[in-house]
A and B are shown apart, each in its own frame.
Chain A
Amino acid sequence: MWAVWQAEAYKYFKSKLWWGTLLLISVPPLLNLILWIEHISRNPDFVLTYAEAMPQNQTITALLFGPLVLCLLSTLSITSEVQHGTLRYVLTSQIKRWELLLGKALWVFGWNSLLLLFANLVNFLFAFAIGATGSVPIADTLVSWLIISASLAAMIPVYLLISLWIPNFFVPVGFGLIGTFVGLILSSSKYITVYPFTVSVVLVSKALGEDVGQELLGTLPLWIGILSGIGIIGMILTAVLFQRKDVTA
């Protein structure tokens, strides 16, 4: 499994893909920057605080860009193997099938989490550049970052499974896009707190310690537990199905 993780990292950093994902995840802080500049141009007295800057970035990252990058990374980790005809060689190396899946899933989870952290960093840098005041909410940022990363991870096995069965880049990505945009539309609803495509605003707000109202059932650990359960069960199911699958690609 560690060998797969290492190989994925090696492949990734030797390709241009990592620049692409860095750019994509930098879009939310860039949108924030544009928004703040617009505010300043309309109201010269506008003063941004780091505490205000953080949730604006986390929300758009959690709802749209985080899920999109995760979908791209998960899908490409399988479809590029099929496209290059390397899957059969990876499977006939000393790697067991479950190791391959888990190694790829952990790589996607790890790298996607780092990208989300990077987005936060860029967001604070932009805020600093336009003269944000107050202290940087490090603890809140880290908590919400952990929640977003963990919540998004629930979808990794689903994308891996779809990519293995239909190894066409556009199928899992199309599926992910539809799910993400549906999530985006419904994101303020309490009913999609555990919607796995995207992280609910309610969940992020809860993570940030905001009052989300009495209608939110359960507690934060419960929601994280449910999403983790979806991820773990999905991973086991994917591994069991893949173990029995004939690889003809």
Chain B
Amino acid sequence: MKPLLEVKRLSKTYDGRQVVHDLDMTIYPGDIYGFLGPNGAGKTTTIRMILGLIQKSSGEILFAGKPLHLLADPYAQIGCLVESPGLYHNLTGRQNLVLFQKLRKVKNSARIEELLEMVDLQSAADRKVKDYSLGMKQRLAIAIARLPNPRLLILHEPTNGLDPAGISEMRTFLKKLSEQGMTILISSHLLDEIEKVATRLCIINQGRQVAEAPLDQLLHTHRDLELVSPKPEALYKFVTDWLQMRGHTALTRLVDGNVLIEGFSDDSALLNTAAIQSGHSISELRIKTSRLEDMFFTFTEGGDNHVGRLASRSV
């Protein structure tokens, strides 16, 4: 399958300070692409470069295989919600849609009703936007982003300021959009939410990419193995030597009297056999599935050295 959006070695330098370093992203049609990173990691800059709001210092942005800046009408294919919904507060919801319909050169007037229905704002369409709740504003902004029926929707912090009900509503909405075949790039601090909806993930830290892969693949790679033994110290020494002998770089720790091997689970049966043959007793062997949150902190804590080590793990 050909990628819908490809970002190649994208960089941005402000006054001699590089804030995005050679970033690569590949988004396939139908993906819900989670774009994660701590505050100041370069997410906003990257998204603004993709949207043409900020000039890139170097690199390439390709849409359906063609350089974005060479497309005649690139933003007919891309809709966005960046940080906060930008709406004219003195106008009603419907008037906002009419105004953006003019700007986006959408001729089909039935599209407005269709979108109002889609975001469930029909009953509030003739109320002024200043009287809307934040959730309603977000939904209206998404309706505006979808006016030209884009192939890619870029949502940067779409759940900012939403209450739990609003967040759940947004999640359902994103899933519905994905089922309709919409490709979505979503950036959020709510890792649980991303874990629930994303199919592919990119994590950046200090402007550098530290991981990019399908979410299930990343979570699988980062499963931990926990070994319960009556003599954990001896087992710990054996496991460390065994891993070193086999060239594994997995980090081994003693946690609460158990041996924990981070990011290691595929060879667990082999390790179990080797330990028993060497006279170690293992009473229990648990494969601990990582959560996105654990993985995120593994990737983003520890600075550049850590980043370098983890980048090699990315798939």
Binding site for B on A (CB under 8 A): 3-4, 6-7, 10-11, 14-16, 84-95, 244, 246-248
Determine whether the beta carbon of B99 is less than 8 Å from that of A92.
no
> Which one, B84, B95, B104, contacts A94 given CB within 8 A?
B104
B66 interface residue, CB < 8 Å from A?
A: no
In the assembly, what is the distance between CA of A22 and CA of B91, in Å? 20
Determine whether the beta carbon of A84 is less than 8 Å from that of B75.
no
In the assembly, what is the distance between CA of A165 and CA of B315, in Å? 43
A-contacting 9-mer, from B46-54, B208-216, B241-249: B46-54
Number of CB contacts from chain A to chain B under 8 A: 78
Q: Which residues of B contact A6 (CB under 8 A)?
A: 102
In the assembly, what is the distance between CA of A246 and CA of B91, in Å? 28
Closest 9 CB pairs of A and B: A85-B86, A86-B86, A247-B53, A246-B54, A89-B86, A93-B103, A93-B104, A7-B102, A6-B102
In the assembly, what is the distance between CA of A90 and CA of B99, in Å? 10
Interface 0/1 of B73-116, CB less than 8 Å to A: 10110101011111111110001001110111100000000000
Determine whether the beta carbon of B87 is less than 8 Å from that of A92.
no
* Distance between B71 CB and nearest chain A CB, rounded to angstroms: 11
Determine whether the beta carbon of B87 is less than 8 Å from that of A84.
yes
Determine whether the beta carbon of B105 is less than 8 Å from that of A3.
yes
B144 interface residue, CB < 8 Å from A?
A: yes
Are A90 and B103 also in contact (CB < 8 A) when A14-B95, A84-B86 are?
yes
> Which one, A3, A15, A84, contacts B102 given CB within 8 A?
A3
In the assembly, what is the distance between CA of A10 and CA of B86, in Å? 17
> Which one, A15, A87, A91, A244, contacts B52 given CB within 8 A?
A91
Are A15 and B90 also in contact (CB < 8 A) when A88-B82, A92-B78 are?
yes
Determine whether the beta carbon of B75 is less than 8 Å from that of A94.
yes
Determine whether the beta carbon of A7 is less than 8 Å from that of B99.
yes
Determine whether the beta carbon of A92 is less than 8 Å from that of B103.
no
Determine whether the beta carbon of A92 is less than 8 Å from that of B89.
no
In the assembly, what is the distance between CA of A97 and CA of B89, in Å? 23
Determine whether the beta carbon of B102 is less than 8 Å from that of A10.
yes
B148 interface residue, CB < 8 Å from A?
A: yes
In the assembly, what is the distance between CA of A162 and CA of B60, in Å? 32
In the assembly, what is the distance between CA of A248 and CA of B95, in Å? 26
Determine whether the beta carbon of B86 is less than 8 Å from that of A88.
yes
- New contact pairs (10) apart from A6-B102, A92-B52, A92-B53, CB-CB < 8 Å: A7-B99, A85-B83, A85-B84, A86-B88, A89-B80, A93-B75, A93-B100, A94-B76, A247-B53, A248-B54
In the assembly, what is the distance between CA of A176 and CA of B99, in Å? 29
B172 interface residue, CB < 8 Å from A?
A: no
> Which one, A10, A84, A247, contacts B48 given CB within 8 A?
A247
Q: Which residues of A contact B86 (CB under 8 A)?
A: 84-89
B18 interface residue, CB < 8 Å from A?
A: no
Determine whether the beta carbon of B55 is less than 8 Å from that of A244.
yes
Q: List 8 A-B contacts (CB under 8 A).
A: A3-B105, A7-B103, A11-B99, A86-B87, A87-B86, A88-B82, A94-B104, A248-B53
Determine whether the beta carbon of A94 is less than 8 Å from that of B105.
yes
Determine whether the beta carbon of B53 is less than 8 Å from that of A246.
yes
Determine whether the beta carbon of A14 is less than 8 Å from that of B75.
no
In the assembly, what is the distance between CA of A3 and CA of B73, in Å? 15
Q: Which residues of B contact A95 (CB under 8 A)?
A: 103
